[in-house]
């Protein structure tokens, strides 16, 4: 009884469990989330700490790809998933076209459950880098076929409509029907997803694009990302497998950056940070869980300028300027939490993130 209450008392803070074995990894990627985006959210919150700032182990990573100082999401996703730099546009293959094994696939091979939770189509470059192998990130039809064969236990995102009509050389394929034939419980909204009790499961909204959170007046989206993260954790835990690997992406931070729309960026990064809270809270109560939070690259070349440096003006005294409609090549912050977090400090390469995760997953 005394031991039990001691364990419970530890439940409200981060475990500094350096000797512990990493059983579960939650890899959280804010697509297009650079230092200025994170700072902008801190300003919006009057410098109240972000959830990701609960992490005591932090670092930076270099994002350049094999053929460009400024990476795209395909090369960045591949580097962070597999540990190999590749060319922009390539998903899950190296510069010579050889297939790469992602950390998610390594986890699957060692008997762990796996999941992907994103705010776009799961065929988009970042999630695709964890299961697909192709030299053209925009070939969603081929990527969808890789997803059908992936064996990932929990998939959440958008684009079910497009997945019902995937074009192949021999005709059309209904990937949703294929998932169901493979045993997946399929849901097309969060209400029915919350009622799902077993894996494999897929929750895919019919449409390809969700509204930005700040423009979600009809409540199409609500708290989808934090809620789907919590639900995925519940399902992965229930799968009965020996731990899990879950990738969560705040995909639309990048879209806001491409649109040079600060309101979109702020809403999306706050939504992502709410999902980080779900993951960190899970790590607090589940020893052996590592959470790594980072971005894949910066989008928009965002800078925060304030000519008058006037704190009395509050948020209006701040001016946000974008310098590009594309990505930029800056270092990206890393926040690590839970068991094994101490491995993710200092200045790293984006490939180091995958290498470290694979190493932590492989010792038995
Ligand atoms: Zn982008």
Measured in Å, residue 265 CA sits from the centre of ligand 1 at 12
Measured in Å, residue 72 CA sits from the centre of ligand 1 at 6
Measured in Å, residue 56 CA sits from the centre of ligand 1 at 28
3-state secondary structure of 303: strand
pLDDT at residue number 10: 38
CA distances from 223 to 190, 215, 226, 231, 303 (A): 10, 13, 6, 12, 28
260-306 pLDDT tens trace = 999 999 999 999 999 999 999 999 999 999 999 999 999 999 999 87
| 132: phi then psi, degrees, rounded to nearest 5 | -105, 165
pLDDT at residue number 260: 97
104-150 pLDDT tens trace = 999 999 999 999 999 999 999 999 999 999 999 999 999 999 999 99
Measured in Å, residue 258 CA sits from the centre of ligand 1 at 7
Separation of alpha carbons 116 and 25, rounded Å: 12
Environment of ion ligand 1 (residues, CB < 5 A)? 254, 299
Separation of alpha carbons 186 and 263, rounded Å: 33
Q: Rounded to two decimals, what is the model's pTM? A: 0.94
Measured in Å, residue 295 CA sits from the centre of ligand 1 at 11
Measured in Å, residue 255 CA sits from the centre of ligand 1 at 6
CA distances from 181 to 32, 101, 201, 279, 311 (A): 36, 26, 12, 31, 59
């Amino acid at each position: 009884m005394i031991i039990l209450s001691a364990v419970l008392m530890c439940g409200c803070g981060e475990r500094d469990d350096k000797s512990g074995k990493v059983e579960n990894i939650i890899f959280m990627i804010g697509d297009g989330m650079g230092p200025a985006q994170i700072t902008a959210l801190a300003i919006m919150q009057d410098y109240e700490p972000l959830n990701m700032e609960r992490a005591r182990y932090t670092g930076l990573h270099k994002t350049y790809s094999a053929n460009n100082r400024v990476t795209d999401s395909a090369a960045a996703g591949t580097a962070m998933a597999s540990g190999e730099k590749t060319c922009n546009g390539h998903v899950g293959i190296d510069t010579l076209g050889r297939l790469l094994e992602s950390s998610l696939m390594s986890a699957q091979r060692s008997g762990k459950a796996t999941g992907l939770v994103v705010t776009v189509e799961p065929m988009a470059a970042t999630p695709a880098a964890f299961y697909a192998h192709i030299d053209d990130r925009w070939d969603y039809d081929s990527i969808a076929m890789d997803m059908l064969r992936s064996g990932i236990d929990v998939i959440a995102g958008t684009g079910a409509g497009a997945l019902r009509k995937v074009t192949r050389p021999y005709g059309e394929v209904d990937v949703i029907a294929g998932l169901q034939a493979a045993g997946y419980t399929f849901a097309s909204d969060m209400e029915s997803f919350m009622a799902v009790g077993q894996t494999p499961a897929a929750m895919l909204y019919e449409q390809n694009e969700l509204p930005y959170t700040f423009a979600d007046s009809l409540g199409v989206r609500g708290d989808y990302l934090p809620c789907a993260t919590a639900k995925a954790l519940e399902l992965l835990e229930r799968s009965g497998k020996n731990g899990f690997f879950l990738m969560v992406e705040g995909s639309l931070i990048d879209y806001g950056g491409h649109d040079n729309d600060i309101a979109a960026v702020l809403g999306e990064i706050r939504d992502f940070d709410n999902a980080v809270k779900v993951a960190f809270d899970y790590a607090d109560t589940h020893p052996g869980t590592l959470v790594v939070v980072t971005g894949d690259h910066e989008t928009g070349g965002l800078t925060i300028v304030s000519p008058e440096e006037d704190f009395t003006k509050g948020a209006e005294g701040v001016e946000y300027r974008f310098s590009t409609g594309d990505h930029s090549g800056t270092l990206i912050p890393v926040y690590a939490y839970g068991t094994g977090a101490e491995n993710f400090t200092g200045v790293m390469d984006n490939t180091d993130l995958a290498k470290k995760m694979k190493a932590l997953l492989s010792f038995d």
